[in-house]
């Protein structure tokens, strides 16, 4: 004799999917989110103490939640621990920085020379981000008319890891005074990978809401109203 069916039971296959939970971020969360954006600074002065084990991997996991064109997820993270590679990157920075100093106008040159533009010597963690332009993931969606969207997608991952790091009291600095081809050669990455940036990660010596370049008198932040165009 067969068991009597339970009218309150639903087979797993036939069960309706649970509705997606909508996120309700209250005003207190939104205020804290703004604080995070304000306190996210480009850090160049690091303490030498290492990050906890697994901290970088956890941050990269969060970075992979960033949006990407066609769900291509083209970002590639190269963690640089090798001492010789770090030294080569630093040497390249010094050469590129000297070239940048040489083209400064006289009124700016002395100020430029006083700027600290990288924390390569002090930061305990170094990593580079590349965009894999050859990736088949995403099947080319959204890239036929704007192939550079692959690069932009990798940049969204950079911003995501920057915010995630800051939320944990970790500072990050973007080192852009580098020769992209030289960096790719030093790190021995595939030719199809486009260099996005080289980053220093660690605990900052000090926190501040004012960008260091503004503190040094190099530039001032523009008001939001100055970058809006109405049509």
pLDDT (tens digit per residue) in 17-38: 566 677 888 999 999 999 999 9
pLDDT score of 18? 60
Q: 64 pLDDT exceeds 80?
A: yes
User: Apex CA 72: angle with CA 66 and CA 75, to 5°?
Assistant: 60
Find where tokens 């009597």 sit. 4
Residue 120: count of CB within 10 angstroms of its CB: 22
**Size of the chain, expressed as the number of residues it contains:** 231
In this structure, is residue 28 part of a structural domain?
Answer: no
Q: Which domain holds residue 113?
A: 46-207
Q: How many domains does the chain have?
A: 1
Q: Identify which has the larger pLDDT, 22 or 83.
A: 83
Which residue carries 């920085």 as its tokens? 97
* Cβ pair 57, 185 in contact under 8 A: no
Q: Sign of the C-alpha dihedral, residues 60, 65, 69, 70? A: positive
Q: Which residue has the higher pLDDT, 98 or 8?
A: 98
Domain membership flag for residue 69: yes
Q: Which range among 52-61, 99-108, 213-222 shows the weakest confidence by mean pLDDT?
A: 213-222
Whether residue 201 lies inside any domain: the answer is yes
Element (H, E) at 200: strand 193-202
Check pLDDT > 60 for residue 4: no
21 in a domain, yes or no? no
Give the pLDDT confidence score for residue 208 in this predicted structure: 85
Residue 136 included in any domain: yes
CATH number at residue 133: 3.40.109.10
Q: Is residue 14 part of a domain?
A: no
Please check the confidence at residue 13 and state whether its pLDDT lies above 60.
Answer: no
Positions of E strands within 144-187: 171-175
Contacts with 17 (C-beta within 8 Å, 6 or more apart), sequence order: none
Percentage of the chain surpassing pLDDT 70?
Answer: 91
Q: H/E/C letters for each residue in 66-95? A: CCCHHHCCCEEEEEECCHHHHHHHHHHHHH
What pLDDT, in 10s, does the model give residues 142-197?
999 999 999 999 999 999 999 999 999 999 999 999 999 999 999 999 999 999 99
pLDDT-based confidence at residue 1 (cuts at 50, 70, 90): very low
> Which residue has better confidence, 173 or 15?
173
Residue 174 CB partners (closer than 8 Å, separation 6+): 42, 158, 197, 198, 199
* pLDDT score, position 116: 87
Can you read off the two tokens belonging to residue 1? Answer: 């004799």
Residue 76 confidence (pLDDT): 98
Rounded to 5, what percent of the chain is helix, strand, coil? 40, 15, 50
Does some domain include residue 15? no
Q: Is residue 202 part of a domain?
A: yes
pLDDT band at 16 (very low <50, low <70, confident <90, very high): low
**pTM of structure:** 0.86
């Amino acid at each position: 004799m067969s068991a009597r069916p339970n009218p309150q039971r639903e087979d797993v296959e036939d069960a309706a999917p649970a509705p997606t939970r909508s996120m309700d971020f209250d005003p207190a969360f939104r205020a804290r989110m703004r604080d995070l954006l304000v306190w996210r600074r480009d850090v160049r002065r690091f303490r030498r103490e290492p990050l906890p084990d697994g901290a970088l991997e956890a941050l990269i996991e969060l970075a992979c939640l960033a949006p990407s064109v066609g769900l291509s997820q083209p970002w590639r993270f190269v963690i640089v621990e090798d001492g010789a590679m770090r030294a080569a990157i630093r040497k390249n920075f010094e050469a590129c920085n000297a070239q940048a100093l040489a083209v400064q106008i006289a009124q700016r040159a002395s100020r430029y020379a006083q700027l600290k533009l990288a924390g390569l010597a002090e930061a305990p963690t170094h990593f580079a981000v590349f965009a894999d332009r050859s990736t088949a993931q995403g099947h080319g969606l959204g890239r036929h008319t704007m192939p550079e969207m692959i690069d932009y997608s990798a940049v969204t991952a950079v911003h995501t890891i920057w915010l995630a790091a800051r939320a944990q009291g970790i500072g990050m600095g973007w080192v852009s005074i580098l020769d992209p081809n030289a960096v790719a050669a030093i790190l021995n990455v595939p030719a199809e990978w486009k260099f996005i940036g080289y980053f220093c990660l660690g605990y900052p010596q000090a926190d501040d809401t004012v960008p260091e370049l503004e503190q040094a008198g190099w530039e001032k932040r523009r008001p939001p109203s100055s970058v809006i165009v109405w049509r």
